[in-house]
Amino acid sequence: MNKINIGLIGYGTVGSGVVKLLRARKSYIKNKFNTEFVIRTLCDRSIHKKKTRGLGKARLTKNIQDVLGDPKIDIVVELIGGMHPAKEIALKSMKNGKHVVTANKELIANCGKELFQLAKKNHCHLYFESSVGAGIPIIKSITEGIVGNKFKNIYGIINGTCNFILSEMTQNHYSFAQALAEAQEKGFAESNPALDINGMDSAHKLAILIYLAFGKSVNVKEIYREGITHISHDDIEYATSLGLTIKLLAIAKKEDNRIEARVHPTLISKDHPLASINSIYNAIYMKTDPLGSTLLSGEGAGQMAAASGVVSDLINFATRGHSSALPSNLHSEAPGLKIQKIDQIKTKFYIRFMVIDKPGILSAITGVLGKHNISINSVTQNAHNPSLTVPVIMLTDYTSGKMLRLALNKIQKLPLVRGKPVAIRMEKLW
Amino acid sequence: MNKINIGLIGYGTVGSGVVKLLRARKSYIKNKFNTEFVIRTLCDRSIHKKKTRGLGKARLTKNIQDVLGDPKIDIVVELIGGMHPAKEIALKSMKNGKHVVTANKELIANCGKELFQLAKKNHCHLYFESSVGAGIPIIKSITEGIVGNKFKNIYGIINGTCNFILSEMTQNHYSFAQALAEAQEKGFAESNPALDINGMDSAHKLAILIYLAFGKSVNVKEIYREGITHISHDDIEYATSLGLTIKLLAIAKKEDNRIEARVHPTLISKDHPLASINSIYNAIYMKTDPLGSTLLSGEGAGQMAAASGVVSDLINFATRGHSSALPSNLHSEAPGLKIQKIDQIKTKFYIRFMVIDKPGILSAITGVLGKHNISINSVTQNAHNPSLTVPVIMLTDYTSGKMLRLALNKIQKLPLVRGKPVAIRMEKLW
């Protein structure tokens, strides 16, 4: 029997899920993998307030050093989240020759390269499946499953909160505020949902995917980021009538040595498989050479979905027989890659203008667009009422972020235009 | 530099794809994985008729023994397909201490357990990602990616030919014969498509999935199998009007110690992600505890999609550093599991009866169904013409295969019923 001593740091939602799952699968893991996982030490800053029944002989402590300094601990499971002291825990663990499992997207996004280099140097394993899409095997698929491939692009629905809100707005005709309230009520959104709905959470995960798929260590600040707070229910209705769906997508594309890295609401065809990923489900759609398009989807958040990824990491560590090989060689960066500025990236756009419905308004708007070399593929104006503000929807051909920005700044100042136009990027995924 | 000598047996479509991909990714593999793959020997029974330019110093041979008996060959890549001599190649390779990569579904479906046991005994790696869904990382996801989970059920679209035919019938209103002809023209169906359209190919792959997910070594003959040849264009139209889509699904479900194992055309909701997997794409939809539902999809056939899986297997072998650990412990079977007979399995059914449109016919049919305890959820009869044969569509509640069979045998003999009723199982996937 292969006995593996775990030091578990962080006994919150995910941590207690991991303990629960390890207990539920104990005999299965013994029989199938000839392995016994023992929680030797459980460290949490509020350990004495937590329910710790069923943890057997585990040492309970508030002191991280009780884990890092214990030579009998083989592997440290870090589940506290955030940058500090998570980073110090990962570094110190590996310096002490311990392997590490973490679900910490912020940590891997910001310090991945440094951690992978230390892992290589010290012959440690570093697993992080639950950092993106919880237990959906995204990390393993990219680093091992389709590893012989050249990655061309990645489109991810990797924030369950945003996907839930947009799905509710689409399917149940909710406003953003109603959908957010429902997400909070169901426990799918934090009481402070800022990092989710402003796209930051997706940006962290996208940084990880870019490092794995393209070998580029990207500063999260370089990722263009737009949240979903400005999406109105009207936009969703117009999108639906055009055969489109709005999703918060994390997008990475590589062409030559240029990488696009962006997170924003995106209009995609209703017929694309990503369009049917609803509620809190996550999905990754990747195009690689020579495999083509691959889609992975599943529950990307929640206690047990995250615990599933952590436990899979632990079992994978166990079956590798303490070999010094890393899951894949992640310590080195591909040279010469550059992140493109959003201003230079060309996409099609959906634009909603709110205008006073008087003759000449379309000509004024299209005139400004024309001067910025922006071609219009379609114009829709359904409501007509000269005394009211009505929406005009335009779909553009490919144009750069910069040209669109300049054109909208001008259009916004036209006499008959009211408010700030809403512009949403469109992507053709196949 | 880690140098790995390959003996490649079978230089057909997939074999030449593997050589092509290894060549294209040579410097990437060197830089990222510090590994050089060398095709030391290329064995094919028609080797002298094949284009072998660009193979460097590879020894070309017709004689399998030149691979199996060469102590310098580290890993044998078997790509000839079929049972013999593929089985002898795999066994002999591992007896000689060589690792094995294969894309051979028939071999793994029929001899998986024996091969895994030999692999364990001889400390060999045995990789077979391309045996199901080509390069889509299905095998890796089940055996490693979500390995901590308990599998509940699996629904697979795992035959590209059938999925192409059914998609064309649905989207382009083709008849079965037209769709098959188009598949053959495009190279998506063999000139003898029997093993694809009769469900045998899917059954082989399902046997592999059942072994991996549930630990049950199943005789392929125990898998209930129905092909797609009896599906008419009318059925597809009726299905569409009911919000349903017909897919050839490979289905495995486990409850207690009973396993359902079946391959048949299946009606599923148009809103389910599997319904939007069209053309030659493959997909696996799995429910596991605690992760929930996971979907993987991509190109499940074709030269380079299969080569992608083989090359990923080779790289994974290389990064494991020749450790003696297996990808997962597949040599042992879970005890006490039984495959259920199709007669005992309860599902809902779509049934199309062709009847002479006279009063009393519905009452006669529903009377027989009622006597067999089969409840009807809906009846649709759109065409009315007393002198013609018209279709009546019924959707039943859950009933066993046996009760349905007995009822249909009786109904078929009713005076106003023409031809054999078409019955298609329905599945509620979420």
**pLDDT tens, position by position, B90-118:** 999 999 999 999 999 999 999 999 999 99
Label residue B381 by pLDDT band (50, 70, 90).
confident
Residues of chain A positioned with their CB less than 8 A from the CB of B294: 135-137, 296-299
Give contacts of A144 with chain B, Cβ < 8 Å: 137, 140, 144, 312, 315-316, 319
The answer on pLDDT for A54 being more than 80 is no
CB nearest to A137's CB, from B134, B141, B307: B141
Pairwise CA distance, residues B227 & B231, whole Å:
9
Mean pLDDT of A377-397: 89
Q: What is the mean pLDDT of residues B244-262?
A: 97
| CATH 3.30.360.10 assigned to A138-300 | yes
Q: For residue B140, give how far its alpha carbon lies from the nearest alpha carbon of chain A (Å).
A: 6
- What pLDDT is stored for residue A425 in this prediction? 98
HSE, CB side, 13 Å, CA atoms: give it for residue B288.
Answer: 30
Q: Is the pLDDT of residue A206 over 80?
A: yes
- The confidence score (pLDDT) of residue A253 equals 98
Q: pLDDT value at position A191?
A: 83
In this prediction, residue B252 carries a pLDDT of 98
Residue A324 has pLDDT above 80, yes or no: no
pLDDT at residue B299, as a whole number: 93
pLDDT tens for each residue of B279-316: 999 999 999 999 999 999 999 989 999 999 999 999 99
On the question of pLDDT at A59 being above 70, the answer is yes
* pLDDT, tens digit (0-9, with 9 covering 90-100), for A243-261: 999 999 999 999 999 999 9
Binned at pLDDT 50, 70 and 90, residue B189 comes out as confident
- Which residues from B are below 8 Å from A21, CB to CB? 148, 290
Nearest CA in chain A to B213: A32
Mean pLDDT of chain A: 94
Gap between the Cα atoms of B255 and B235, Å rounded: 31
Q: What is the pLDDT of residue B323?
A: 58
Which of A291, A307, A324 is facing B135, going by the closest CB pair? A291
* pLDDT over threshold 90, residue B271: no
Q: What is the pLDDT of residue A416?
A: 93
Tokens matching residue B14: 């997939």
Report, as an integer, the average pLDDT of A408-426.
96
Whether A144 sits inside 8 A of B144 (CB atoms) is yes
State mean pLDDT over A386-410. 94
A296·B291 Cβ contact <8 A: no
A28, A31, A329: residue with CB nearest B32: A329
Number of Cα atoms under 13 Å in the Cβ half of residue A312:
33
> Residue A332 — very low, low, confident or very high, per pLDDT cuts 50/70/90?
confident
Residues present in chain B in total: 430
Q: Per-residue pLDDT for A325 more than 70?
A: no
List active site positions of B: 205
pLDDT value for A316: 92
Per-residue pLDDT reduced to its tens digit, B316-338? 999 876 555 555 578 788 889 99
Chain mean pLDDT for chain B: 94
Fold of B2-132+303-319: Rossmann fold (3.40.50)
Sequence ranges of the domains in chain A: 2-134+303-319, 138-300, 342-426
When pLDDT is cut at 50, 70 and 90, the band that residue B30 belongs to is: very high
Residues 6+ apart with CB under 8 A from B334: B214, B215, B216
Give the C-alpha separation, A118 to B269, whole Å: 49
Is A2-134+303-319 a domain of CATH 3.40.50.9100? no
- In this prediction, residues A292-314 reach a mean pLDDT of 96
Cβ–Cβ of A32/B215 closer than 8 Å?
yes
Residue B233, helix vs strand vs coil: helix
Q: Number of CB pairs < 8 Å for A and B?
A: 193
**Overall average pLDDT of the B60-73 stretch:** 98
pLDDT of B385: 80
Tell me the two tokens of residue A359. Answer: 């003759």
The whole-number average pLDDT for the span B375-398 is 90
Does domain B343-426 correspond to CATH entry 3.30.70.260?
yes
Helix (H, G, I), strand (E, B) or coil at A104: coil
Contact A319 B326 (CB under 8 A): yes
What residues pair up with A138 in beta bridges, in sequence order? Answer: none
Report ipTM (2 d.p.). Answer: 0.94
- Which chain A residues are closer than 8 Å to B288 by Cβ? 308
pLDDT of residue B322: 57
Lowest pLDDT segment from B43-57, B126-140, B315-329: B315-329
> Which residues of chain B are within 8 Å of residue A137 when distances are taken between CB atoms?
137, 140-141, 144-146, 294
pLDDT at B137: 98
Q: What is the pLDDT of residue B407?
A: 98
Closest Cβ opposite residue B290 in set A215, A304, A323: A304
**What is the pTM for the complete model shown?**
0.95
- Distance CA(A180)–CA(A76), nearest Å, equals 36
SS3 B22: helix
CB B254 within 8 A of CB B153: yes
pLDDT at B417 over 90: yes
Catalytic residue numbers of A?
205
**Fold exhibited by the domain A342-426:** Alpha-Beta Plaits (3.30.70)
Q: How would residue A102 be classed by pLDDT, with cut points 50, 70 and 90?
A: very high
Tell me the two tokens of residue B352.
């199309």
